[in-house]
Amino acid sequence: MTTPHESVVVLSRALDQTGDVLAAIHEDQLALPTPCSEWDVARLVAHVVHDPRTFLEMAQGKEIDWAAEPPPVTSGWADAFRSAADDLIHHWHQVGDDQAPQADWQTAEFAVHSWDLARAIGYAQPLDPGVAERGLAFMSGSLTDHNRGSAFGPAQAAPADAPVYERLAAFSGRAVQPGP
């Protein structure tokens, strides 16, 4: 049985993992393509670094322009992300358990983009399968063909026995090729 607080615990692991992947990115990798259609590593890094602040502003009731391009991040991306991620987790620890399951959306976002970046740079460390499982469970229950928008392509095929990150990536519209 899961508890609402578990959503925040898994989000914390997702944020830690994303910070680790960001810390592994070198400047000479910024122009590499990612599985995230039409985004290179630099653009995806900017998006991911901006995400915790965007999610926090959304939780604070601010209007969010999801189509707005985040400013480029040319250095210190792991530190900038971790600082913003700390603020986001602090927020989740202050809200009631009835709101905590909303953190699953954020877990899904960070799980997908950690996989995107890890795949792009050849990150050799294993990603936390519990993060992907929670992200995939959330996305499977809420993302439909009608609400994917431009952020997610149509779901792609993945073998039922594929690792959970590959199933999550395929559900998110990424073409999944065997890799690290």
pLDDT at 1: 41
Was domain 4-131 assigned CATH 1.20.120.450?
yes
Name residues whose C-beta falls within 8 Å of residue 129's C-beta, 6 or more positions apart in sequence.
Answer: 163, 164, 165
> 3-class DSSP state for residue 33?
strand
H helix or E strand, kind and range, residue 20:
helix 4-23
144 Ramachandran zone, left/alpha/beta (phi>0; psi -120 to 50): beta
Question: pLDDT tens for residues 86-96?
Answer: 999 999 988 87
- Pick the more confident residue, 73 or 101: 73
How far is 36 from 151, CA to CA, in rounded Å?
A: 9
Is 127 in contact with 169 (CB distance < 8 Å)? no
**Average pLDDT taken over every residue of the chain:** 90
Question: pLDDT tens for residues 137-146?
Answer: 999 988 877 7
Question: pLDDT tens for residues 80-120?
Answer: 999 999 999 999 988 877 776 689 999 999 999 999 999 99
Looking at residue 153, what DSSP letter applies? -
pLDDT at 100: 67
pLDDT at 2: 60
**Angle, CA of 85, 177 and 33, to the nearest 5°:** 55
Whether the predicted pLDDT of 3 surpasses 90: no
Whether the predicted pLDDT of 37 surpasses 90: no
pTM of the model: 0.92
> 3-class DSSP state for residue 40?
strand
